[in-house]
């Protein structure tokens, strides 16, 4: 077996929301040829491009798009809105030619209600796929089998007139849950996995995995205090069953024939043991699992410090942490972290964390520009979840507005009418403008990605928190080994406050070179001597330490 680290261990992954990246045919919806036409922006092998190593594509499968692709009606094809399988093959070819890998989104918990498997299942109790879904009788007229509430609101049970039973759906009624207890369903899904591997994909992002498996005796969930139906119960019986881990182990064992295919998991933050439970023992479940704790945290140094420590402690040896601040389900982090402070400066400091913390960074299209949440009116919303809780929750549509390529009327995204309005700030926040501006966030992302690639301590080094006298400062080192005579160590310091600060780092006495500051436009190479870090408001710095700070206090 190869001892070489796998590609994803040093990769930077870029999430593309296909609806919104680039439209090539003027229908207002992004598509695969559009993505191909923008690959050079992502990585053309030169310093002008962003330099990412992989794309995670949110679902592109045929779908009625009630949940914008997370309701799949055919696992082995491409939705005509996005193109064809031939377009997909072209994307894989063109991406690979540039050294960019492709990670497919794969929804295992549910299909669309329009999937032929479900259509067959609802038509007859003796259909071969009947047991691929969960069916149950009610507890009396109009009373579903249990009190379970769906993630997107309402009961998890819907009465099906044709089937004359209730079926289970953990999200929308249009997304019936698959029954992973059934072995033929598993085989059908593993066929899907092989189908895409044979087409050249390099990994899968596995959606909502802690929902696989239910307590099929249908006991009621205990109630608790919460702000709406779903959070008013403890989800003891409708998720987080041991079966989910069994399925992940089965999938991982299939990957023994495909050691270069990465498995990335998404699980709820409150799943028992946390999402990291899906690493298994570090070698038998997933390679990496999203940890959304930083994403959900306020912009506060003590919180970050505690959450990073918790994340570090939760990943077993053999597992690889992932770092993610934004995705298609959340408000963009420039708006979240920026709330109550200088959003642009904080986004720059967050970028430093994204690329210097230990783990595989996942960035969400447009965050490198500082794209903000779109300000949408009710009639412009598309996502049923966003509509349901509007205006009490920001919802998901604001983070899904079209990519801002240039200052033209639809930001270079489409020549037609975009499916969601382009953000107001596209005339100033766009790729064309930012790519040649050394002080732009995009330039900072490019520098950080390059720095990360050139710096083994950042790609594979260990993480060590350092004490600092200012609680608003987060200071840590990354170094290649625990060894006291190592070659390289990097110190990162982030000022989470809007004030100047001088903080001492007790015990650290060494020389270094300032490699990067979020205030400066170019690499610095300025001599730096430690003991003290002087930071401007919301500033983050990266320093290469010359002599090892081995007397430094690591309060892990």
The answer to whether residues 167 and 160 touch, using CB atoms and an 8 Å cutoff, is yes
Exactly one of 70, 132, 180, 304 binds ligand BGC (CB under 6 A); which one?
70
Q: Considering the complex, what minimum distance in angstroms separates the CB of residue 394 from ligand BGC?
A: 15
Token pair 């930001």 is at which residue?
Answer: 411
Q: Considering the complex, what minimum distance in angstroms separates the CB of residue 452 from ligand BGC?
A: 26
Does 291 interact with ligand BGC (rule: CB under 6 A)? no
Q: Which of 23, 53, 174, 207 is catalytic?
A: 207
Does 107 interact with ligand BGC (rule: CB under 6 A)? yes
Cα gap 191→185, rounded to integer Å: 10
Q: Which of residues 302-321 bind ligand BGC (CB under 6 A)?
A: none
Q: Considering the complex, what minimum distance in angstroms separates the CB of residue 388 from ligand BGC?
A: 12
Q: Which of residues 204-233 bind ligand BGC (CB under 6 A)?
A: 207-208
**Which single residue brings its beta carbon nearest to ligand BGC?**
70
Exactly one of 74, 329, 380, 523 binds ligand BGC (CB under 6 A); which one?
329
Within a 10 A sphere around the Cβ of 250, how many other Cβ atoms? 14
Q: Smaller CB distance to ligand BGC: residue 109 or 147?
A: 109
Q: Smaller CB distance to ligand BGC: residue 65 or 515?
A: 65
Q: Smaller CB distance to ligand BGC: residue 209 or 449?
A: 209
Q: Considering the complex, what minimum distance in angstroms separates the CB of residue 384 from ligand BGC?
A: 9
Q: Considering the complex, what minimum distance in angstroms separates the CB of residue 267 from ligand BGC?
A: 9
Q: Which of 266, 291, 367, 544 is catalytic?
A: 266
- What φ, ψ does residue 324 adopt, rounded to 5°? -145, 130
Does 365 interact with ligand BGC (rule: CB under 6 A)? no
Burial of 89 (0-12, 13-18, 19+ CB in 10 A): middle
The answer to whether residues 500 and 345 touch, using CB atoms and an 8 Å cutoff, is no
Cα gap 508→175, rounded to integer Å: 55
Q: Considering the complex, what minimum distance in angstroms separates the CB of residue 319 from ligand BGC?
A: 20
Q: Is the dihedral of CA 318, 244, 69, 60 positive or negative?
A: positive
Cα gap 311→203, rounded to integer Å: 23
Q: Considering the complex, what minimum distance in angstroms separates the CB of residue 266 from ligand BGC?
A: 5
Does 364 interact with ligand BGC (rule: CB under 6 A)? no
Of 539, 78, 149, 103, residue with least CA distance to 351: 539
Q: Smaller CB distance to ligand BGC: residue 70 or 528?
A: 70
Q: Smaller CB distance to ligand BGC: residue 247 or 457?
A: 247
Q: Smaller CB distance to ligand BGC: residue 208 or 458?
A: 208
Q: Smaller CB distance to ligand BGC: residue 303 or 388?
A: 388
40 assigned to active site: no
Q: Which of residues 164-193 bind ligand BGC (CB under 6 A)?
A: 171
Within a 10 A sphere around the Cβ of 256, how many other Cβ atoms? 7
Task: Give the count of alpha carbons within 13 A of 113, CB side only.
Answer: 19
270 assigned to active site: no
User: Count residues contacting ligand BGC (CB under 6 A)?
Assistant: 9
Q: Smaller CB distance to ligand BGC: residue 89 or 329?
A: 329
Of 342, 420, 347, residue with least CA distance to 386: 420
The answer to whether residues 290 and 271 touch, using CB atoms and an 8 Å cutoff, is no
Q: Considering the complex, what minimum distance in angstroms separates the CB of residue 110 from ligand BGC?
A: 7
Token pair 């995705």 is at which residue?
Answer: 327
164: left (phi over 0), alpha (psi -120 to 50) or beta: left
Of 290, 243, 234, 383, residue with least CA distance to 103: 290
Q: Smaller CB distance to ligand BGC: residue 287 or 328?
A: 328
Collect all residues with Cβ–Cβ distance below 8 Å to 61 and sequence separation of at least 6: 69, 72, 73, 74, 75, 77, 78, 79
Does 266 interact with ligand BGC (rule: CB under 6 A)? yes
Exactly one of 23, 31, 53, 67 binds ligand BGC (CB under 6 A); which one?
67
Q: Considering the complex, what minimum distance in angstroms separates the CB of residue 6 from ligand BGC?
A: 24
What x/- string results for residues 120 through 159 when contact with ligand BGC is judged by CB under 6 A?
Answer: ----------------------------------------
Long-range contacts of 447-452 (CB under 8 A, 24+ apart): 447/516, 447/523, 448/351, 448/352, 448/354, 448/355, 448/356, 448/516, 449/12, 449/50, 449/51, 449/52, 449/355, 450/47, 450/51, 451/355, 451/515, 451/516, 451/523, 451/542, 452/12, 452/355, 452/356, 452/361
Bridge partners, 56 (sequence order): 15, 103
Q: Considering the complex, what minimum distance in angstroms separates the CB of residue 57 from ligand BGC?
A: 13
Q: Smaller CB distance to ligand BGC: residue 117 or 171?
A: 171
The answer to whether residues 26 and 414 touch, using CB atoms and an 8 Å cutoff, is yes
Which residues have a catalytic role annotated? 207, 266
Footprint of ligand BGC on this chain (CB under 6 A)? Answer: 67, 70, 107, 171, 207-208, 266, 328-329
């Amino acid at each position: 077996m190869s001892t070489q680290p796998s590609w994803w261990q040093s990769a930077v992954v870029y999430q593309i929301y296909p609806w919104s990246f680039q439209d090539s045919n003027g229908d207002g919806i992004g598509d695969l040829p559009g993505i191909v036409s923008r690959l050079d922006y992502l990585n053309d092998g030169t310093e002008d491009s962003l330099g990412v190593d992989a794309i995670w594509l949110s679902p592109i499968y045929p779908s009625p798009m009630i949940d914008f692709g997370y309701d799949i009606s055919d696992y082995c094809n491409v939705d005509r809105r996005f193109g064809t399988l031939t377009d997909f093959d072209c994307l894989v070819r063109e991406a690979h030619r540039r050294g960019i890998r492709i990670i497919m989104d794969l929804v295992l918990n549910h299909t669309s209600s329009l999937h032929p498997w479900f259509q067959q299942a609802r038509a007859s109790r003796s259909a071969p796929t009947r047991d691929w879904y969960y069916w149950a009788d009610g507890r009396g007229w109009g009373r579903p089998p249990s009190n379970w509430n769906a993630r997107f609101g309402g009961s998890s049970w819907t009465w099906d007139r044709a089937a004359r039973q209730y079926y289970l759906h953990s999200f929308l009624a249009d997304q019936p849950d698959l029954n992973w207890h059934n072995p033929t369903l598993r085989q059908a899904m593993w066929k899907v996995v092989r189908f895409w591997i044979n087409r050249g994909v390099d990994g899968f992002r596995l959606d909502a995995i802690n929902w696989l498996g239910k307590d099929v005796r249908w006991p009621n969930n205990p109630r608790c205090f919460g702000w709406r139906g779903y959070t008013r119960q403890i989800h003891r019986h409708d998720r987080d069953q041991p079966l989910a881990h069994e399925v992940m182990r089965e999938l991982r064992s299939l990957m023994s024939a495909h050691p270069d295919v990465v498995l990335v998991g998404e699980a709820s933050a409150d799943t028992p043991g946390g999402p990291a439970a899906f690493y298994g023992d570090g070698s038998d479940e997933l390679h990496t699992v999203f940890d959304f704790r930083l994403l959900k945290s306020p912009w506060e140094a003590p919180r970050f410090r505690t959450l990073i420590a918790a994340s570090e402690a939760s990943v077993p040896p053999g597992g690889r942490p992932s770092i993610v601040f934004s995705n298609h389900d959340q408000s963009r982090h420039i708006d979240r972290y920026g709330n109550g402070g200088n959003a642009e400066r904080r986004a720059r400091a967050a970028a430093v964390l994204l690329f210097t913390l230990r783990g595989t960074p996942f960035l969400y299209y447009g965050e490198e520009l500082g794209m903000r949440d779109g300000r949408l009116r009710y009639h412009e919303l598309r996502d049923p979840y966003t509509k349901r809780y509007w205006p009490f929750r920001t919802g998901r549509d604001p983070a899904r507005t079209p990519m801002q390529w240039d200052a033209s009327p639809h930001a270079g995204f489409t020549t037609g009418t975009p499916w969601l309005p382009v953000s107001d700030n596209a005339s100033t926040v766009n790729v064309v403008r930012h790519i040649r501006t050394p002080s732009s966030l995009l330039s900072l992302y490019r520098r950080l990605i390059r720095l990360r690639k050139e710096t083994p301590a950042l790609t594979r080094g260990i993480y060590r928190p350092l004490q600092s006298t200012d609680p608003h400062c987060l200071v840590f080192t990354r170094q290649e080994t625990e060894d006291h005579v190592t070659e390289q160590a990097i110190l990162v310091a982030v000022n989470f406050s809007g004030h100047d600060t001088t903080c001492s780092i007790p015990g650290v006495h060494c020389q270094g070179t300032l490699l990067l500051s979020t205030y400066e436009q170019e690499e610095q190479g300025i001599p730096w001597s430690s003991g003290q870090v002087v930071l401007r408001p919301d500033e983050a710095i990266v320093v290469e330490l010359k002599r090892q700070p081995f007397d430094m206090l690591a309060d892990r």
